[in-house]
């Protein structure tokens, strides 16, 4: 059976639009940090499932997910109501293109995220292998309102001098009001952090967020000499194209 019944162990509400939940982990479930899995509910016995990147690292004994809440969404409207002890269904197979094998090793790794696109990068920044592969890791997270900066305190508490965290908020007063994609394209991001201009020969980029951001950044990078990872070979940037993060 591709799905197994798991129990919700905690729920955390970030804003009116976003929340996290943790569940038990199937005993035989394996995944690489950065991958996603489909999870769902069975209202009236019929499975409604969507793809979610896994926030927790692959050595944790639980699974954690970050979700948007769409009031009319067939899944998230229900998922936002689950509580500790409730049941969710988790697929047995994880996959995705935001893992270390999808980009070449390099100097600096840029993780550009918006909204719940932060999810796969949460486990990557806690993975020791990432810091063996790259000199620095730069996590940029763009949201509309301050409460949507999920895991901000946890990220800032990580004691890793090689991790740079850049939260940006576009619709409320905040020290960095620009979109992360704009900071990257204008070069302001590198100036702000005191880092060299991103270079496709030395640096790597992962992108995860709303479809418009994914598309515009992919187009920009390709126009500036970056190579997207495809089935034909491993390049110097990748994005999650398998699903739309703003789940319904």
Average pLDDT over residues 57-84: 96
Burial pattern 138-176, b for ≥16 Cβ within 10 A else e, equals bbbbbbebebbbbbbeebeeeeeeebbbbbbbbeeeeeb
Q: What is the pLDDT of residue 232?
A: 87
| Residue pLDDT, tens place only, 96-126 | 999 999 999 999 999 999 999 999 999 999 9
Q: What is the pLDDT of residue 243?
A: 56
Q: What percent of the chain has pLDDT over 90?
A: 93
Q: What is the CA radius of gyration of the chain?
A: 18
Average pLDDT over residues 227-242: 90
Q: Which helix (H) or strand (E) holds 221?
A: helix 211-223
Give residue 240's pLDDT band: very low, low, confident or very high (50, 70, 90).
confident
Domains along the chain with CATH numbers: 3-91 (2.40.30.10), 100-239 (3.40.50.80)
Helix, strand, coil share of the chain (percent; to 5):
25, 30, 45
For all residues of the chain together, what is the average pLDDT?
Answer: 95
| Residue pLDDT, tens place only, 180-231 | 999 999 999 999 999 999 999 999 999 999 999 999 999 999 999 999 998 8
Query: Is 247's pLDDT higher than 80?
Result: no
> Torsions phi, psi of 18, nearest 5?
-135, 145
Going by C-alpha positions, the residue among 218, 221, 162 that lies closest to residue 193 is 162
Q: Strand, helix or coil at 108?
A: strand
Token pair belonging to 77: 């409207």
């Amino acid at each position: 059976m591709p799905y197994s019944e798991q129990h919700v162990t905690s729920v955390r509400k970030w804003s009116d639009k976003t929340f996290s939940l943790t569940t038990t982990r199937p005993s035989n479930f394996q995944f690489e940090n950065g991958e996603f899995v489909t999870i769902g509910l069975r209202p009236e016995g019929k499975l409604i499932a969507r793809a979610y990147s896994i926030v927790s690292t692959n050595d944790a004994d639980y699974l954690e997910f970050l979700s948007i809440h769409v009031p009319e969404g067939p899944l998230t409207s229900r998922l936002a109501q689950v509580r500790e002890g409730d049941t969710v269904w988790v697929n047995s197979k994880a996959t995705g293109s935001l893992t270390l094998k999808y980009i070449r090793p390099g100097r600096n790794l840029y993780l550009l995220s918006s909204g719940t696109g932060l999810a796969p990068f949460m486990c990557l920044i806690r993975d020791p292998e990432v810091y063996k592969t790259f000199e620095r890791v730069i996590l940029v997270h763009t949201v509309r309102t301050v409460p949507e900066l999920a895991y901000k305190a946890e990220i800032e508490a990580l004691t890793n001098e090689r991790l740079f965290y850049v939260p940006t908020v576009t619709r409320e007063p905040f020290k960095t009001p620009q979109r992360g994609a704009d900071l990257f394209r204008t070069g302001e991001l590198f100036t702000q952090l005191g880092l060299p201009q991103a270079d496709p020969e030395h640096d790597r980029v992962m992108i995860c967020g709303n479809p418009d951001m994914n598309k515009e950044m992919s187009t920009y990078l390709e126009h500036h000499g970056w190579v997207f990872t495809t089935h034909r070979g491993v390049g110097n940037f990748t994005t999650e194209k398998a699903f739309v993060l703003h789940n319904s």
